[in-house]
Amino acid sequence: MNVFNQLSIWLSFQLSIIFLVGIPVTLFFWSIKKRNKAVNKLLSIYWKISLLFFISLLLLIGKYNYALLITNISTLLITISIWFWNDINDELKEYDFSYSLTTTTKIWRWSLTFISFNFLIQSVLNFSCLSFINSAACEIWTQPSANFYIIIKSLFNFFFGANFTQPIAKFLGLFSLLIYTLGLIQWSIIKLPKNGRNSCFSDNGRN
**pLDDT tens-place string over residues 11-68:** 777 778 889 989 999 999 999 999 999 999 999 999 999 999 999 988 988 889 999 9
Angle among Cα 126, 16, 22 to the nearest 5 degrees reads 175
Cα separation, 129 vs 65, in Å, equals 8
Cα separation, 78 vs 58, in Å, equals 18
Q: What is the CA radius of gyration of the chain?
A: 18
**Out of 24-33, 38-47, 75-84, 90-99, which region has the weakest mean confidence (pLDDT)?**
90-99
Confidence at residue 12, expressed as pLDDT on a 0 to 100 scale = 76
Strands (E), the chain: none
Binned at pLDDT 50, 70 and 90, residue 206 comes out as very low
One-letter identity of residue 26: T
pTM beyond 0.85: the answer is yes
Confidence at residue 3, expressed as pLDDT on a 0 to 100 scale = 64
Cα separation, 129 vs 141, in Å, equals 8
Average pLDDT estimate for 166-174: 90
